[in-house]
Amino acid sequence: MASTPTRRSVLAACGAGALSGCSNVLGLNPPPDIECTASTEGYAWPMAGGAADRSSRRHAINMPSADAGRRRLSRTNSAGRGLSSFGTPVVGDGTAYVVGDVKVGAYDLLTGEERWAFEPDGASVSPALGCGTLYVATHRETLALSLDDGSVLWRADVGTTHFGSPAVFDDTVYVSSGGVTALDAETGERRWDSSSQNGTALAVADKVYGYGHYEGTESIAAFTHDGDEAWRTEVAEVASTPTVADGTVYVAKRNGKLTALDAADGTVEWRAETEWGVYSSPAVADERVVVSAGNGEEALGIDTETGEVQWRFETGLSTVAPTVVGDSVIVHGAGYHLLDLETGERLRHWPVQHAGSQAVVVDSMILYRAFTVSDIFLLQ
């Protein structure tokens, strides 16, 4: 897939020996019209986990009533150029952006109309909104797409794993490429790569936190935004994305433990017993970190300071991450349950069948993926 790199990308990639190579960007000419001047906070749900820190929290907003109606937003039909979705959608400016193996689709939330579509090459993770652009990581490359019509603004030869969604932070796109790769959000030029292998996911706050194999050891590693390794802590059996909140990195493990690490130096603050087989990230806000039931029976609300379990709510098996909304939290199991964040008391229940993803909360709406047909549905 050959194209002519932009003058800016060539100068940046080849200047002063800052990077190891000059052929990382598959650029477009003229230069892409992307400017990273606005925060991602302007979008309702800009990326997996709601933000680059993956904390899955939103300010208090209206939510649908318990008897809300359900409608299909995207429809699977591979033979008819439809959409088979894997990641949760991202939402901004009244539009839901959905990635599947057949296409990337932009859908008007009010009418359900498909605004545009783009055919990717093997995409299976949620995209990311930032800098007025949609960033899509496929198995082979990362693309910047125009929000207006889905046209390609740049391509970079950095593919992603099957689990790690990209994150946009300031003017950088971070891609889970087996390790961590940092791309200039405006041009797609490669800024740095981590030294990890078999990495599955990443989160970004004051540092970039990635899980992977470092010199043969499963660990969480922290990198500065310039790519220098700050610390590394051995944490094995992780199958979910780390969550960062208020100076702490939370890591849910498959073996039934939640580990809290100091985000500054990687020291272990505490460990808590959870359900076995947790494959989704915890959600964090205020004084609670909430962990799904995994292969167990109960979602847990845990004190962020001490690691002590404060409440339990029976959901049954769930591989779906919770979503914090104000002083409440949505957990998955036989539909979605709205719980009081402090006490775990159930406030509302949406008994939807076959819900298969984290609840993406927009004003008076909940978007989710159905695991049976891999389509996106909307509760309103």
What does the pLDDT look like over 347-367, one tens digit per residue?
999 999 889 899 999 989 999
Half-sphere exposure for 67 (CA within 13 Å, toward CB): 0
Instruction: Compute, in degrees rounded to 10, the torsion defined by CA atoms 204, 205, 208, 210.
Output: -60
Q: At 372, is the pLDDT very low, low, confident or very high (cuts 50, 70, 90)?
A: confident
Contacts of 248 (CB under 8 A, 6+ apart): 260, 261, 262, 263, 269, 284, 304
Give me the percent of the chain exceeding a pLDDT of 70: 89
pLDDT at 20: 36
Nearest in space to 369 (alpha carbons), one of 136, 163, 72, 51: 72
The enclosing H or E element of 367 equals: strand 365-369
pLDDT tens figures, 88-141: 899 999 999 998 877 899 999 999 999 999 988 878 889 999 999 999 999 899
Q: What is the pLDDT of residue 239?
A: 85
pLDDT tens-place string over residues 3-46: 333 333 333 444 333 333 343 445 445 677 899 987 777 899 99
How many C-beta atoms surround the C-beta of residue 319 within 10 A? 18
Q: Which residues pair with 311 in a beta bridge?
A: 301
* CA–CA separation, 185 and 242 (whole Å): 22
What is the average per-residue pLDDT within 277-285?
Answer: 94
**Tokens encoding 253:** 């493990």
Q: How far, in Å, CA of 99 to CA of 358, rounded? A: 15
Look at residue 322 in the predicted model and tell me its pLDDT.
98
Mean pLDDT of 64-75: 91
Lowest mean pLDDT among 68-82, 227-241, 280-294: 68-82
pLDDT-derived band at 258 (thresholds 50, 70, 90) equals very high
- Higher-confidence residue of 248 and 21: namely 248
What is the rounded average pLDDT for all residues in the chain?
87
Q: Which amino acid is at 344?
A: G
| Single pTM value for the model | 0.90
CA distances 258 to 2, 144, 301, Å, are 45, 35, 12
Single out the residue of 357, 373, 352 nearest to residue 323, CA to CA. Answer: 357
Q: What is the pLDDT of residues 283-324, one digit of tens each?
A: 999 899 999 999 999 999 999 999 999 999 999 999 899 999
If you count them, how many residues does the chain have?
A: 380
What pLDDT sits at residue 76? 61
Q: What is the pLDDT of residue 24?
A: 42
pLDDT one-digit tens code per residue, 170-202: 999 999 998 899 999 999 999 999 877 777 789
pLDDT at 378 over 90: yes
Q: In DSSP terms, which residues pair with 361 in a beta bridge? A: 366
Between 41 and 67, the higher pLDDT residue: 67
Higher pLDDT, 238 or 31: 238
Q: Could you give the 3-state DSSP secondary structure of residue 71?
A: strand
* Tokens describing residue 95: 């539009």
Rounded Cα–Cα distance for residues 333 and 314 (Å): 8
